[in-house]
Amino acid sequence: MRGHGQTPPDPKWPGGAKVAVQFVLNYEEGGENCVLHGDAASEAFLSDIPGAAQWPGQRHWNMESIYEYGARAGFWRLHRLFTRAGIPLTIYGVATALARNPEQVEAMKDAGWEIASHGLKWVEHKDMPEEEERAAIAEAVRLHTEVVGARPRGWYTGRCSQNTVRLAAEEGGFAYVSDTYDDDLPYWLDVDGRDQLIIPYTLEANDMRFATAPGWTDGEDFFNYLRNAFDVLYEEGGTDTPKMMSIGLHCRLVGRPGKIAALKKFIDHIQNFDDVWCPRRIEIAEHWEQTHPPQKGLRPSRMEKAEFVSAFGGIFEHSPWIAERAFDLELGPAHDCAAGVHNVLCRVFRTAGAAERLGVLNAHPDLAGKLAQAGRLTSESTNEQASAGLDMLTDEERETFTKLNTAYVEKHGFPFIIAVRDHTKASIMEAFRRRIDNGGEAELEEACRQVERIARFRLGDLLP
């Protein structure tokens, strides 16, 4: 849920591009469900047949002919469009479809297009046993390499299972995996200790919506959506952070005359801009790996309890029990950051009993007090007090702090607590004089807020 967070990294696209527009052509024709291929039923997915359903044990002649259109006519119409525009494609090629379409494969290679893997067959994987899917990935790579002459460096199943991304990463030979739809930029995913680059794909800037509901009713809907998405991303690339725009295409869908006109209009639109990069997906992967290699750091969601408590037990002063309880909350990758750990620690602190919360307050030292003078503060407190100059007080200032500390504790029953990193020595003194006169309940709430603020600063030193 966290992803790149509030400030995504600058991808530093080549040429200072404000957006990377990446076209994918899914080549599935010949890899779909068909009894001729040994499948139990005909295909029913992504065609112009409304409400199509599988026909068990039978050929669906209309469905087959629609898929054939993609290979016989749609592919070549798209081939002419993109080669004339000088825009290279990434092909998501189903291995069995590639094997049945040698002329199209030759044209892809001659055009310099990337041929990534789209699995062994264009079939559903959600109920496929893990070992069967693992074997299917291996066979897809083997057949793809045999047919194309080089192994695929990218992977996208599409009709995937919960195991697909893990199994593709486990295979070990893919520069990127695209079975996610969760970001506008690539990112690194730790899969059982292996850093796998993920280049998210799209189901919305995708001509599949000509064949699904809600979908496009005509080409102008598709064009308007693509143009609006591009215009927003282009604007963001100039004011915020450049992003990536993926566009998904299918030979049997956008390859039809009434639909491809919209795609041509969109290509004409983006070619009016100089600072747009139209790469193959493998080029995005290579650029990202060089520009933003995987970073190692603390990953709280992966820690054992003892490790978690050791790392964060001192965030709330001398109160490791807060980290111990926080570990038992739901920790996921979204908590692998300062805000994430801060949230779970504060949840424990906020729901603790009154005596426990008071104990946390009393665990804090006096500002510029005897412990500081004796060098007996925690390293965190020492650095914090030094940051506001409290380690270099005049005798008069030290005496003033001593008097205020004594009076404050006598009135409120706990030390004066303030997040000194928000302040200067003068503003700390001003806050001290003002808050000492607060009522008991109001000052207890303020002290607790300051404890949480101190914790946030401390976590910021450890985590992104």
The region, left, alpha or beta by phi > 0 then psi within -120 to 50, assigned to residue 245 is: beta
Q: Give, to the nearest 10 degrees, the angle between helix 102-110 and helix 75-85.
A: 10
CA dist., res. 239 & res. 344, Å (int): 34
* Distances, alpha carbon 39 to alpha carbons 36, 63, 115, 403, in Å: 7, 14, 25, 86
Token representation of residue 75: 């592919």
User: Which of the following is catalytic: 79, 342, 364, 412?
Assistant: 364
Which one, of 52, 165, 174, 35, lies nearest residue 117 by Cα?
Answer: 174
Q: Please report how the helices 354-362 and 440-460 are oriented relative to each other, as an axis angle in degrees rounded to 10.
A: 60
> What whole-number distance in Å separates Cα of residue 51 and Cα of residue 276?
39
Helix (H, G, I), strand (E, B) or coil at 448: helix
* Rounded Cα distance, 330 and 309, in Å: 15
Residue 379 tokens read as 């390293």
Exposure b/e, 365-391, CB count within 10 A at least 16 = b: bbbbbeebeeeebbebbbebbeebebe
- Contact assessment for residue 134 and residue 167, using Cβ atoms and an 8 Å cutoff: yes
Structure tokens at 14: 């080549």
Bridge partner residues of 26 (DSSP): 92, 250
3-class secondary-structure state, position 114? strand
How does strand 154-155 pair with strand 187-191? unpaired
Cα gap 403→406, rounded to integer Å: 5
DSSP for 151-215, written as a single string: --SEE--SS--TTHHHHHHHH---SEE------SS-EEEEETTEEEEE----SSSBGGGGSSSS-
Q: Is 287 a catalytic residue?
A: no
Before 152, cis peptide (omega within 30)? no
Q: What's at 238, amino acid-wise?
A: G
For 355, half-sphere exposure in the C-beta direction (CA atoms, 13 angstrom radius) is 0
Residues with catalytic annotation? 364
